[in-house]
Amino acid sequence: MENKVLVAYASKYGATEQIAEKIGEVLCQAGLNAEVLSAEDVKDPIVYQAIVLGSAVYIGKWRKQASKFLKENEQILAERPVWLFSSGPTGEGDPVELLQGWTFPDALQPIANRIQPRDITVFHGDVDMEKVNFIERAMIKNIESPVGDFRDWESISAWAKAIANALTDE
């Protein structure tokens, strides 16, 4: 098995895709062969030595493509080092605090428990009012959610470096 790392993601408006691309870039800089793909475009996850999977989060749920990837590939994921991330909360401060302690979708937690990921994290998201649809715009205004790009690229890079260190030490 070639030393390949998959960074798979499910993104609605591109913010989570950009996070995945940054993770892939950091892994490549560390000398790993990282491939960044939309979760629905992954043909055969068995060819990867390690997998990073992330999703945009809406009302506590992962995007369908990421959930489906997790469910359909549970066995493969259980046999490899896996890292999971979510992106979504906007505003200042710790993203997990902003989500009242939420770190992962409840509906998917039993799968995560079985595959035993090395880490599960949450990154700040990016809400661009130009991109969201009418219903989302109304929800954002209703809950008075901060709008803008709150992604913390330093924390994303640090997390990716920790993954690279874990994989190059093995």
Torsion of CA 155, 133, 84, 90, to 10 degrees: 30
What is the three-class DSSP state of 75? Answer: helix
Residue 139 structural domain: 4-169
What integer pLDDT is reported at residue 137 of this predicted model? 81
Containing 167, the helix (H) or strand (E) segment is: helix 153-169
What integer pLDDT is reported at residue 170 of this predicted model? 66
Asked if residues 95 and 124 have their Cβ atoms less than 8 Å apart, the reply is: yes
What's the pLDDT tens digit per position in 62-106? 999 999 999 999 999 999 999 999 998 888 889 988 888 889 999
Q: What is the CATH number of the domain that holds 109?
A: 3.40.50.360
Both tokens assigned to 134: 């009418």
Between CA 99 and CA 86 the distance in angstroms is 11
What's the pLDDT tens digit per position in 99-114? 888 899 999 999 999 9
Asked if residues 124 and 87 have their Cβ atoms less than 8 Å apart, the reply is: yes
| Count of the separate structural domains present in the chain | 1
Q: Where are the alpha helices (DSSP H) in 8-63?
A: 15-29
pLDDT band at 1 (very low <50, low <70, confident <90, very high): very low
Between CA 152 and CA 159 the distance in angstroms is 11
